[in-house]
Structures are given as structure tokens and as C-alpha cells.
Structure 1
Amino acid sequence: MLLRFRAANVRSLRDEQELSFVVPQHEKSDAARTLKLSDGKSLQVFPVLGIFGANASGKSNVVTALMKMKEAVLGSYGRWTSYQGIPREEFALDPKSAAESTFYEADFVLEDGVRWTYGFELGSKRVESEWLHAYPKGRRQVWLDRDATRDTVFEFPGDRIQDRALLARTTRPNALLLSRAANDNHPQLTRIYDWFNKNLWDITPETERSQREAFTARELLNEKSRDRIEELLRVADLGIQGAEVEHQPGQTPRVRLLHGSDAGEPVAFDWQRESFGTRSWFALIGPLLLALDRGAVLLIDELDASLHPRFAAEVVRLFQAPWVNTKGAQLVFTSHDPSLLKSPRGGRPLEPGQIWLTEKDDSGATELYPLSDVDPGPEEDLSDSYLAGAFGAVPRVTQGQIGRRVLTALAGEAERS
């Protein structure tokens, strides 16, 4: 499970920002899961985090930063050889940022309960630093300490890593040692690499929909998956009673959803007649179930972009429900839809510690903070308070301001002409 993620100098994340799934010790949570650690202790970890904020406040950049870290781990050894330097997207609004390193760090727990911290700093031409720490008995073990400014760049305190001399000698300055080790299926470090490879799956509901539709369609051919897919279609209240699927070898399965009718017999609709919302929901179901089955970390950017609020709320419920999410899967989503902050019948789908807000300062840099830092009241309507600007992270636009500016601009153009 992912515990924390930190990044700096990535797009609008100029200063170090942290996203944390861990419930602070002084807080109580009904949504959190108990994660047993190898040292006998336990942590309370949220299964879902939602990132809210105004347009262009940096919500998507938090998800992008997570994916950039994964891309670096998976691709630095093989793909970066073709670059004249290291591919980065540093903070663009300050010229000094180009000369500063880009920072990534993740805390996570593997299947055996051991907590790990892995991170690195990337310069424009080389990996400036890289580190790997383990906590098998609660105390930190330093496995790797890399510093490009030292005469001895790589140090391995405790000599825990096998083939240390070979790794140090064959890791390029512009590649991560972790990527290099996994290329040779290193017996110890490949486990860390595999965590990144099998997690941090990103989805934008409006993009790659046809591929995800095809994946969900193929899953309908699997009897174990079919019942769950049809149930999710029904529970979303689309009037759908089931699905027909035809499959010819070498072709994408053809799906027709069965809609209820006044006559009592379901009517099969051609796929092209289905609404955009229905198709978006169908396309999302396959990856959602796969993430739940594998206990992966799923990243959904703009969850509300092409989904009805009811569908978006259903996604959150799937990951929150322990009887559905039995493998410890996690969800990070971005949204600006305040309806996800309260249930139709009252209550809170997400606790304050699960709601993260993004806001840009005057220099264009993003600040990321949990709603729990604002300390909302226990009975406070989070949706109303959010829209009223009580928590920040909303557009600074007064009623009618945009219209007045448009009229002013039109009047100016008329005078100039």
C-alpha cells in the first residue's frame, strides 16, 4: 500500500508537497483500514483520497507527478539513453527552477509488511541523489545512499544489497540504480521496482475510452467478472438489466446492453446508441475491478469530467467498502465537483483527512493540504463551505465578474476599431 508521496519542482509543484494516506495518530477514522507492519505495529491508512481545487490549481499535476516518478523508475535505464540529458518538467514560472533538481519520494508497504522509502533527485544531466530505506523492525535501515557530488557516488551501508560493486560500476549517471538492477532481475531490488510497475495506474475518463471499453468487453467473457460488471451497470440506475456479448476470434467483442422496457422483455441497444455517460461508466468498470482484484493504486484524473455525480460517488464507495475492496486497493482522484463532498441524504462520503485541496499562490506555485488542517466542524456542510471559499481552493471570481470583463473587453475593441 502507498503511505505517502512527496514531490518538488514538478510542473506547478515548486516547493515540496506531500500527499498522505496515513491517518494522523491523534485522529479517529471510520473509513481507514488497519495495516499490519512487520515490526508488530499497525497504521491506519485511508483507501481513498480526493484532490479538489479550482481549474488550473494543480490538481492534475499531483497525479502527473506520481506518474512521472513511476515513468522514471521504469524507464530511466532503457529509455533515457536517447535523451540529451534527463527528461523533466520543472516549475516553469521561475527561471531558477531549471537549475534546481526535481525531487520524488514514496513510502509504501510490501506484502510482507515491511515499510520502504524510496526516492531520488533528478538534475538536467544526471541523477543527483537516490536513496532506499527499509524498516523491517521499525528502525531505519539504509540500503542505498547515492550522491553525485561525492567522490564515492554510491554507498551501501550495512552491505545489504547483493552485487553492489557491479551495480555501482554499470549504472549510468543519468539512470536510476533501481532501474539498472531490475534490468538484470536483481533478487532484492526487483521487488521494489515491481511495486512501481504494478501500481500507480492512471486513467482520465475522457481519454483512451475505446481501449477501456474493449477491455471491459473482454472481461464480460469471463464468468467471474461478468456478474460483477452487470451488477455495477444495474446499480448505477441506468435501466440496464444485463449485457449481450459476441466474440469472433481476432476481433474486439461486440457488446449490446439490455435495457428494461414497458413490455417486460429487455431490449438490446446497439452500442452506438448508448449515451456518453453510459459508455464512460462501462469503460471505467473493467479497470476499476482489475485494480480491486490486484490491490493496486488507481489514479483517476478529473473523475467527474465525463461521469454523472452518481457514478463518481459509486467509484468512491467501491474502494471505501471493505467487503468489496478486500485486497487493500487504493484510489486517488481529482475533481472540482462539490457534490462528492456530501451524500444526497446527508453525511460525508469522505472524511476531512481524505479530502485534499490545491491552491496556487501569487507566484503560480501549487500548495497541497488536507481539509483536516482547516478543522471543519463535525456537522458542517463541507460542500457549502467549500463553495463559499471557507477552505480556499476555489476560483477567486465574484458573481458576474466574468461577464463584466467580457463586456469591458468588447467595449475596448469597439473603441480601437
Structure 2
Amino acid sequence: MILQFSIKNYRTFKEKAVLSLIASNYDKDTRENENIAYNEKFGLRLLKNAVIYGANASGKSKLLDAFGFMRHYVLTSSKESQKGDEIDVFPFRLNSATEKEPSEFEIIFIYKDTLYRYGFEVTRKKVISEWLYYKPKTKEIELFYREDNKFDTHPRSFTKGKTVIKEGLVRDNALLLSVAAQFNDKTSINVLDWFERLKTISGLNESGYRGFTMSKTEDPVHKAKILDLLKAADLGIRDINLQKLDIDKLPKDLPKELRDKILREMHEEKAEFISDVLTTHKKYDINGRSIDNVNFSLDDDESSGTRKFFALTGPILDVIENGYTLVVDELDSKLHPNLVCKIVSLFNSKELNPKNAQLIFNTHDTNLLSAGLFRRDQIWFTDKNKFGEAKLYSLGDFKSDEVKKNEPYEENYIRGKYGAIPFLGFFENLNTILSHHENEK
């Protein structure tokens, strides 16, 4: 589980921003049994989910984008780039002092009963610094600290990392962690394994994970679970089946290269291509009696919300079954507010989420604030000042006399009590401005 994630000088975040999933004592008697996972070894109370609010362009998506960048860079820096290749990182560009400074990332998490703290600073050209600490018992131990091309390593617990350094195998634009994992350093492999289990997806474009869900339906057990979620969402879907591509029905205007590729893979590799997902609905007679089933095309007949929820079922079930962390940008897009509430409740449930999977997402759906699903320390905001600098803060950061436990969070947020809403004063004068332009014609 994630304890804390922080970034600095990345995208819209000039100063350090820290997202903590360590539960505060401030809310200790609020949803303690549902929303909290207790780690006995380290004596930690950890939050199962966190929601982020803010105005458009305030940094909500950029914060979650930072999760995606860190994950991708950790998993690929040693094998998908060459010496001299640029690192795909973007510092805060609206200030001359930071645009050429490094961007910083750090994450603290627990995996296999060990607490890890890992981070790095990078520019577009190279790794400036990198560090890895772990806590197998009660004391945090430094495994390595890197500053440019100078490395300090633990003499006993990071020996393979020391070897790759000595052999000059760590490029300026690659992470020592990633290289050490390639050479079978056990601790580095554990850290990379955890990053594999950190899932980041877009709620605006489900095409990136719909195929994953489709593949899950070919297993009867997983298909049954996906159907249970679809039925629970009250979408009217009774069954789902994959429609395999028929060679004889390939579109006539399909480019020849693509057609040849499909035919070759189908013949030589026995590959199967899916042309659609068919959803089964009940058909009724005039008296309301079920008389038959009708198949709909997921692409042509179902709503955009149904298509998105179908795609989401695969990642959600995968994360919950394995105790992973799911980060979703714009979870509420295309989905009914009540359905988003049910997804959050799924992660809160002790029975349905026994391995304490975590959900981190941003949203504009203020209904969630009045649904009683969150503690104050789970509600976060991004706000941007006149210099374009975003900041991140929690409702739990407010003093107890400023924000009370049972106050109407949704109403107070909308009226601006917590900040993180757009300033729309221009709209108040818009009618006058437009009338002035009309008179000038």
C-alpha cells in the first residue's frame, strides 16, 4: 500500500506537493472500520482511497500524471532508451528559476512486509540524484544514494548494485534501480514488482484498458465477476460474449498492409481478433413477461457510460483481487454519480476488498462529498495561484474549528470555503462586455 507520494517542479507543481495516505488522528472516530487498513507490523493506519478536487487546469490531472511518469520511467529507463536520449519529464515552465531545474519524485510504500522509500531527481538530460531506503523491521536502512555519477551503496544489502556501478553499466539517463533489477538484485526486483502493481489509467479514454477487460471475459471465473459488476450497475446486461473477427467480412476498404497482417497472424500464429463485444438483454412481451434475449453491440448500441464501465470492470477487479493500487484520472467521466459512489464503496468494503487495494482518483462530482463515503483526510484539493503554481492540500489540513466533521462538505466546497474552485468574476461582466461589442458593430 502507498503511504505517501510527493513531487516537486513537475508540470504545474513548482513547490513540493505531498499526497499522504496515512490516516490522521484528527478523524480517528470517522469510518475507521471501513476506510482504514491497519498495518500491525509498522503500526500504521492507511487510507484505502483518496479523492482530489479542483478547478479546471488546477493540477488534478497533472498530479496523477506524475504517478504515471514515475511508474513508466522506473520500469523502462534501463531498457527502452539509449545513451543521449531525452527523459520525458516536464518541469514547471512559468518561472525562469525552475524551468531548467530537476523534477523530483518520491514514493513510500509497503510491499511484502517491508517499507520502502524510493525517489529521484531528473532533468530532460540526466538523473541528478536517486535514493532507495528500506525498513525490513524497525530501522530504515539506506541501500544507495546517488548524486550525478557518485554512488554510495550498502556494503552487504546492495552488492549487485555495487557491481553494475563498478562495471559502468548505469547511464546518465537511466535509473540505478532499473539497471540493478536487470542484473537480478533482489531488492530492486521487489521495488519494480511493486511498480508493476501500480495501475494508472485514464477515465476519459477507456480504449487503453478495454482490451484487458475483454481478455478477462474468456476465463469463466473472471467473466462471472465482470457480469456481477455489470448487473450491480443496473445496466440491463445479462451476459457478454466476444464476437470473433470473420475473415470473409473484413471491410473492403481496409488497407492492404493491415489486411495482409491480420490474415498472416490468423493463419500462421492462430491469432484471434475481436470485432465487437455482444451484450445480452432480456426481451419482453406486451404483458412484461420475458420471452427472449437480444444481443446488442457494445460499440453501436450501448451508451458511452456503459462502454466505459465495462472497460473499468477488468482493472477494478484485477486491483481488488490482488491488493494493488489504482490511480484513475477523471473517474466520474461518463458515469452516473451513484455508480461512482458504488465503486468507492467497493474499495472501502472489508468483505469485498480483503487485500486492501487502494483507489486514488480525481473528479468534479461534488455529490461524493455529501455521500458520507470519505473522511476529511481523504478529501484533497488542488489550487493554482496567479503565477500558475499549483498546490495540493487536504480537508484534514484545516483546523478543527474551521472544518467540522459533520458540516456539509459539498455545499461549503461549491461556495468556496475550501478554495480550489474557479474564479468566475469575468462571467459577471460578460453580458456588459458582449453588449459593448455589439454596439461597436
> Do the two structures share a fold, i.e. TM-score over 0.5?
yes
Question: Match of 2:99, SS?
Answer: helix
Residue 231 in 1 paired to residue 228 in 2? yes
2:13 paired residue number: 13
For residues 271-282 of structure 1, the aligned pairs below 5 Å read: 271=297, 272-282=300-310
Q: Does 1:373 align with 2:397?
A: yes
Cα distance between partner residues in 2 of 1:322 and 1:125 = 46
Which amino acid in structure 1 is aligned with residue 359 of structure 2?
L
Asked if structure 2 preserves the Cα contact closer than 8 Å seen for 1:33 and 1:44, the reply is yes
For residues 225 and 404 of structure 1, do their structure 2 counterparts lie closer, same or farther at Cα, with a shift above 3 Å needed? same
Q: Does 1:220 align with 2:217?
A: yes
Task: Write the letter of the residue equivalent to 1:131.
Answer: W
| Partner in structure 2 of residue 302 of structure 1 | 330
Residue 255 of structure 1 corresponds to 278
User: Is 1:386 aligned to residue 413 of structure 2?
Assistant: yes
- Structure 1 position 314, deviation (Å): 1.6
- Name the amino acid aligned to 2:351: W
Deviation at 1:125, TM superposition (A): 2.6
Change (3 A) 1:70 1:403: same
Distance in 2 (CA, whole Å) between partners of 1:79 and 1:101 is: 21
Q: Distance in 2 between matches of 1:215 and 1:165?
A: 38
* 1:308–1:141 distance in 2 versus 1, CA, 3 Å: same
Q: Which amino acid aligns with 1:103?
A: E
Counterparts of 1:165 and 1:202, CA distance in 2: 32
Q: Distance in 2 between the 1:26 and 1:341 partners?
A: 18
Which residue does the alignment assign to 1:131?
131
**Contact persistence 2:278–2:295 (CA under 8 A):** no
Q: Could you tell me whether the CA contact under 8 Å between 1:244 and 1:258 is conserved in 2?
A: no
Tell me the alpha carbon deviations over residues 18-71 of structure 1, each in whole angstroms, 9 at most, x when there is no partner: 01111124541341111233xxx3211111111111111100011011111112
Residues 2-401 of structure 1 correspond to what in structure 2 (within 5 A)? 2-25=2-25, 27-28=27-28, 29-30=32-33, 31-37=35-41, 41-81=42-82, 83-111=84-112, 113-148=113-148, 153-168=150-165, 169-199=168-198, 201-209=199-207, 212-245=209-242, 250-252=272-274, 254-259=277-282, 261=284, 262-265=288-291, 267-271=293-297, 272-343=300-371, 348-374=372-398, 375=400, 376-398=403-425, 401=426
Counterpart for residue 254 of structure 2 = none
Q: Secondary structure, in 3 states, of the residue corresponding to 1:395?
A: coil
Deviation string for 1:287-311 (max 9, x for gaps)? 1111112221111101111211122
The answer (yes or no) to whether the contact 2:51–2:380 under 8 Å persists in 1 is yes
Q: Tell me: CA distance 1:84–1:279, structure 2 relative to 1, closer, same or farther (3 Å).
A: closer
Q: Select between 49-58 and 272-281 the one with higher mean Cα deviation.
A: 272-281
- How far apart are 1:325 and its partner, in Å? 1.1
Larger radius of gyration: 2
Equivalent pairs: percent with the same residue?
A: 30
Could you tell me whether the CA contact under 8 Å between 2:160 and 2:180 is conserved in 1? no
Structure 2 residue runs of 5 or longer lacking an equivalent are: 246-270
Determine the C-alpha separation between the residues in 2 that align with 1:235 and 1:161: 49
TM-superposed CA distance for 1:285, in Å, is: 0.8
Q: CA deviation at 1:84?
A: 4.4
Give the secondary structure class of the aligned counterpart of 2:320.
helix
Residue-by-residue CA offset, 1:327-356 (whole Å, 9 max, x unaligned): 22111110011011122xxxx111111111
Unmatched runs of 5 consecutive residues or more in structure 1: none
Equivalents in 1 of 2:351, 2:244: separation in Å?
Answer: 32
Distance 1:165 1:133, change over 3 A: closer
